[in-house]
Chain A
Amino acid sequence: DTAVSQTPKYLVTQMGNDKSIKCEQNLGHDTMYWYKQDSKKFLKIMFSYNNKELIINETVPNRFSPKSPDKAHLNLHINSLELGDSAVYFCASSPRTVNYGYTFGSGTRLTVV
């Protein structure tokens, strides 16, 4: 059983389109995250949600809108895609208790053409 699963794994789309990436975790964790890894391999947090509530929003353009219907799901919708949005997007989850590492999904490789 996959602990943190993301779909789709690959996404190729044209500039200006709107797309969504879905994430689900079956670990019973309270907190979920979206990270972006750019072409230079730098992994940076975008959002975190704790039990459906937005906790962290790291100065991400408002074209990016996360949605958490329940604590096991955190989806990412992106409007008006731009070339610079091309990256690998990782979903992750963690227990509420501090000092634990995160479990990451396998990533969604987004290419905007």
Chain B
Amino acid sequence: RKEVEQDPGPFNVPEGATVAFNCTYSNSASQSFFWYRQDCRKEPKLLMSVYSSGNEDGRFTAQLNRASQYISLLIRDSKLSDSATYLCVVFILTGGGNKLTFGTGTQLKVEL
């Protein structure tokens, strides 16, 4: 079982739609959680951190359920520029160091 699992998509949605991505993680010792965005042939960039209380950044809302080991990202009023791959990421502090473990990503295509 992969450490972080996501539906690969693609999700094709019209402009203005609301779209939700889900993610599950297997390591209950995971400490921090993030959503990254990766555009085609570019590096991953931090979109937002995810907190248990839920957090919002403009049109983006992230939720974490530690009991279910489940993370979500909601994008409202989607724009063409939101088209990208969204990576669910968990932070694990190992005995020797820390590492971010990435999901395989969910591809979003926003269309006119």
Contacts and interface: CB of A to CB of B under 8 A. Distances in A.
A87 to B, nearest CB: 13
A79 to B, nearest CB: 24
Contact of A98 (B34, B45, B89, B98): B98
Given A40-B104, A98-B98, A104 B45 contact: yes
Contacts of B31: 98-99
A86 interface: no
Contact of A50 (B45, B85, B93, B97): B97
The B contact surface, by secondary structure, is: strand
Contacts of A33: 99
The A contact surface, by secondary structure, is: strand
A54 to B, nearest CB: 9
A105 B97 contact: no
B25 to A, nearest CB: 15
Contacts of B80: none
Interface of A: 31, 33, 40-45, 48, 50, 55-56, 90, 94, 98-99, 101-107
Interface of B: 31-32, 34, 36, 42-46, 49, 85, 87, 89, 91, 93-94, 96-102, 104-105
Query: Sorted from nearest, which 5 A-B pairs have the closest CB atoms?
Result: A55-B97, A104-B43, A101-B46, A43-B102, A99-B32
